[in-house]
Structure formats: structure tokens, C-alpha cells
């Protein structure tokens, strides 16, 4: 009892750790953060569950969700019996988020009788890796306010940005920059210890900051989360360390900064190298990597791939990924699970293998891609 990490904490997370997180958020954004708006959870997943459970009352309650998306969102919307209203990220503009398209999808949904209650934005994107520009984020926030939507911002990849000129800005900062008119703008911002340059996924550290809402709603979220008593203390401690790392001038800062920059620099080099190599392969195109931990390249297949996949009721990239695994031992994820525009085919690949192994990965991928295409091209068009 008392004073050890074996004890239950406050259901929102230990206050001393929420204070650390609040400090980190304030340093990141330049705006105050109230510890009472922070809810620490076992990874960020329970945050998404809580937010969607709160928002979805009947099957008519709908959530605007990006396609492609991390399938946690589609799974939770299904689980809680709501409706997924899709919006498509624009592959042609680097997986950009087009507000005119968003508006169109919203209007269509409303005409179908859906009660669209929230917009999900994953920034940087998973599986698509794009990092939104500040101007685009302002547009998104304004759109949500006009249309009376809650913004669910999945910001778990906030430190994973690799493209020069790209900077991650939190939606909290964007909302606060917009001034007093946006004081009651409701935003859920999700964060995790599973990504970044730390990648402590098994620790299950996570939190959400619930911005601009009422005390009553905060009390409701607290009540629901307190059913599970608290998140694990080890994960809570990790999360606090991630959000409030050593600052400049502190004794451990130089070593921390060196390790951080080393790891992120290496991830960036791997990302760019892999994307460049993919773009040189036949039938493969890949947007420039901006952030997160993935590339989501597009495949143009010989017609026989579509035909053979259709026979077993699978997507063409399922064949691609299975044969890649069998022939070269490389695991990739078929695009279908994330969603993609009809008639297109993608797969998700991480750039997490050791930097020394990336050349080998590229060699195998290319060898496989050539043989796969040759095999199916030989099977003809009909």
C-alpha cells in the first residue's frame, strides 16, 4: 500500500505524472494544460474506445473517418454500433486532406440520414505517413466548428516527422491559436508511448487530453474510465517521461538529444531510402515519406493478379503480401484492411528494420516484385 508502483493510482492517472504530461504539453504548444483534462490509459486504444463509446448512441450516429485509416477506428465504430462515414485521403497530393471533399462527404452522409458527430484525423498519418500543414489544420478546425463536429486527433506519431520543412503542430495549439471563439471547441488529442523513437509498445502507456469541454463531460469520462480503476503504473511513468523529457540546460539533455536525433535521423534515412527504391520498382509508386513509421505504396498489377485474387475472394495485394512473405520472409500488410479507393491496390510497409538491413530488404523486395509481376504477366490478360 502507498508509495509503490504496485498500487492503484487515481483513475485518470497519478497526479504527479499528469503534472509532468501537462508541463510537456505546455512546452510543446505554449498554452496551459489542465491536469483534470488528462486521462491516462493502457496505450492510446482505450482513449479511442472511450471517445467513440461516448459519441455513438445509435446506428445513425456517424464518425467521419479517413480512408486509408488505422483499423482501430473502423473496428470501434462497428463494435459500438455506429456508422463509419468515409473520407478519402488524396494520394495524388501526398495523402492530403481536402476540406472540400470532407464537406461533400458530410453533406452526402446527412442526406442519407446519418447524424455525423465527429471527425477523426490521424496526424502524422497511419498508414499513409502524411504530416498536415498548419494551414490545412486551421481549415479542418474551422470546418469542424462550422459543422458542429467533435475533433478526434490521433497524434501518436507526433515526434515521427522526417521531411525537411514538415513540422508537427498539435491540434490543441491550432485551436488555441484561433482565439476565444474556439474556447469551447471540443477536441480529443490522443498520445501513446508506443511510437516516436522510444517505441515502448508493450508498456501500454497512453493518454488523451480532452480540450474545450464541460466539467460534466469530463466527469462522465472519468466515471466510465474509473470502472477499470486505473491504467498500469509502469505505462503511466513511461508516458510522463515521453512527454516531459530532459530540457536544454539540464544535465542529461545532451545525451538525450543525441540519442533522440540519432534514432529519428536513422528512421528518416531508412524511410527516404525505402521510398526511393520502391519508386524505382516496376508497377510501384510511393509518396514521399513525411512522418509516422510506414509507407503505403500503390501497386499496378498485371490483370491476372486481380483475376486470381478474385477467385479466392481476396484483394490483389493479399496475393502480393502472402507471396512476399513466403518467398522473401518480409511481412507487409495488405491495403484492404486500412481501406483504399475502389480499384486501387496498396500495401503498408514499415521502415523499422535496422539501418544495416535496409539494403537487403530493398534487394529482396525488388527481386520479389520482379518475379511476382513476371509470373502473373505470363498468365495473360484473360
Cα 166 to Cα 101: distance, rounded to the nearest angstrom:
23
Cα 210 to Cα 64: distance, rounded to the nearest angstrom:
19
Is residue 4 part of the contact set for a copy of itself (CB under 8 A)?
A: yes
Size of the site for a copy of itself (CB under 8 A): 35
Q: What are phi and psi of 63, to 5 degrees?
A: -125, 120
| CA-closest candidate to residue 199, choices 267, 122, 295 | 267
User: Where are the strands (E) in the chain, listed by range?
Assistant: 38-41, 61-67, 83-88, 115-122, 150-154, 187-192, 206-211, 284-285, 294-295, 298-299, 333-334, 347-350
Cα 327 to Cα 310: distance, rounded to the nearest angstrom:
22
Cα 346 to Cα 252: distance, rounded to the nearest angstrom:
43
Is residue 13 part of the contact set for a copy of itself (CB under 8 A)?
A: no
For the CB of residue 222, give the shortest distance to a copy of itself in the complex, in Å: 13
Residues 6+ apart with CB under 8 A from 147: 103, 106, 116
Cell of 373: 509481376
3-state SS string over 112-154? CCCEEEEEEEECCCCCCCCCCCHHHHHHHHHHHHHHCCEEEEE
Binding mask 232-261 for a copy of itself (x = CB under 8 A): xxxx--------------------------
Which span sits near a copy of itself by CB under 8 A: 25-33, 149-157, 224-232, 246-254? 224-232
Cα 235 to Cα 127: distance, rounded to the nearest angstrom:
24
Q: State which residue, 229 or 255, has the beta carbon closest to a copy of itself.
A: 229
Is residue 203 part of the contact set for a copy of itself (CB under 8 A)?
A: yes
Cα 158 to Cα 161: distance, rounded to the nearest angstrom:
7
With CB under 8 A as the contact rule, the residue among 15, 27, 229, 325 that binds a copy of itself is 229
For the CB of residue 80, give the shortest distance to a copy of itself in the complex, in Å: 9
Cell of 22: 501537462
With CB under 8 A as the contact rule, the residue among 16, 27, 79, 167 that binds a copy of itself is 79
Is residue 67 part of the contact set for a copy of itself (CB under 8 A)?
A: no
With CB under 8 A as the contact rule, the residue among 67, 75, 178, 362 that binds a copy of itself is 75
Is residue 43 part of the contact set for a copy of itself (CB under 8 A)?
A: yes
The residue with cell 468515409 is: 86
For the CB of residue 378, give the shortest distance to a copy of itself in the complex, in Å: 37
Which span sits near a copy of itself by CB under 8 A: 37-45, 85-93, 294-302, 303-311? 37-45
Is residue 352 part of the contact set for a copy of itself (CB under 8 A)?
A: yes
Is residue 201 part of the contact set for a copy of itself (CB under 8 A)?
A: yes
With CB under 8 A as the contact rule, the residue among 31, 60, 67, 72 that binds a copy of itself is 72
Is residue 231 part of the contact set for a copy of itself (CB under 8 A)?
A: yes
Is residue 219 part of the contact set for a copy of itself (CB under 8 A)?
A: no
Is residue 266 part of the contact set for a copy of itself (CB under 8 A)?
A: no
Is residue 1 part of the contact set for a copy of itself (CB under 8 A)?
A: yes
Give the footprint of a copy of itself on this chain (CB under 8 A). 1, 4-9, 42-43, 45-46, 49, 53, 72, 75-76, 79, 194, 199-204, 224, 227-235, 352
Amino acid at each position: 500500500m502507498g508509495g509503490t508502483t504496485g498500487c492503484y493510482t487515481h483513475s485518470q492517472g497519478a497526479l504527479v505524472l499528469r503534472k509532468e504530461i501537462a508541463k510537456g504539453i505546455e512546452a510543446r504548444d505554449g498554452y496551459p494544460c489542465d491536469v483534470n483534462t488528462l486521462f491516462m490509459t493502457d496505450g492510446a486504444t482505450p482513449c479511442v474506445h472511450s471517445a467513440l463509446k461516448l459519441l455513438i448512441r445509435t446506428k445513425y450516429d456517424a464518425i467521419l473517418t479517413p480512408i486509408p485509416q488505422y483499423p482501430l477506428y473502423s473496428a470501434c465504430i462497428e463494435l459500438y454500433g455506429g456508422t463509419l462515414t468515409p473520407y478519402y485521403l488524396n494520394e495524388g497530393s501526398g495523402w492530403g486532406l481536402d476540406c472540400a471533399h470532407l464537406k461533400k462527404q458530410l453533406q452526402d452522409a446527412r442526406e442519407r440520414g446519418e447524424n455525423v458527430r465527429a471527425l477523426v484525423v490521424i496526424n502524422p498519418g497511419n498508414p499513409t505517413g502524411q504530416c498536415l500543414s498548419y494551414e490545412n489544420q486551421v481549415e479542418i478546425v474551422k470546418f469542424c466548428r462550422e459543422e458542429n463536429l467533435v475533433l478526434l486527433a490521433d497524434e501518436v506519431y507526433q515526434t515521427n516527422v522526417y521531411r525537411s520543412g514538415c513540422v508537427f503542430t498539435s491540434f490543441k495549439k491550432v485551436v488555441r491559436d484561433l482565439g476565444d471563439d474556439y474556447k469551447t471547441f471540443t477536441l480529443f488529442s490522443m498520445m501513446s508511448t508506443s511510437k516516436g523513437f522510444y517505441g515502448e509498445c508493450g508498456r501500454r502507456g497512453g493518454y488523451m487530453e480532452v480540450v474545450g469541454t464541460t466539467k460534466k463531460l469530463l466527469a462522465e469520462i472519468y466515471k466510465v474510465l474509473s470502472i477499470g480503476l486505473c491504467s498500469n503504473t509502469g505505462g503511466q511513468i513511461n508516458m510522463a517521461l515521453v512527454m516531459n523529457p530532459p530540457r536544454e540546460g539540464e544535465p542529461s539533455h545532451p545525451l538525450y538529444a543525441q540519442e533522440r536525433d540519432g534514432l529519428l535521423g536513422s528512421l528518416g534515412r531508412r524511410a527516404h531510402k525505402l521510398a526511393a527504391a520502391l519508386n524505382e520498382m516496376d508497377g510501384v509508386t510511393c509518396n514521399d515519406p513525411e512522418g509516422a513509421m510506414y509507407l503505403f505504396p500503390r501497386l499496378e498489377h498485371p490483370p491476372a493478379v486481380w483475376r486470381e485474387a478474385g477467385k479466392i475472394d481476396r484483394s490483389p495485394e493479399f496475393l502480393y503480401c502472402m507471396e512476399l512473405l513466403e518467398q522473401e520472409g518480409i511481412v507487409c500488410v495488405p491495403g484492404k484492411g486500412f481501406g483504399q479507393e475502389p480499384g486501387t491496390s496498396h500495401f503498408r510497409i514499415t521502415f523499422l528494420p535496422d539501418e544495416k538491413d535496409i539494403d537487403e530488404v530493398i534487394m529482396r523486395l525488388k527481386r520479389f516484385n520482379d518475379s511476382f509481376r513476371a509470373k502473373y504477366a505470363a498468365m495473360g490478360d484473360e
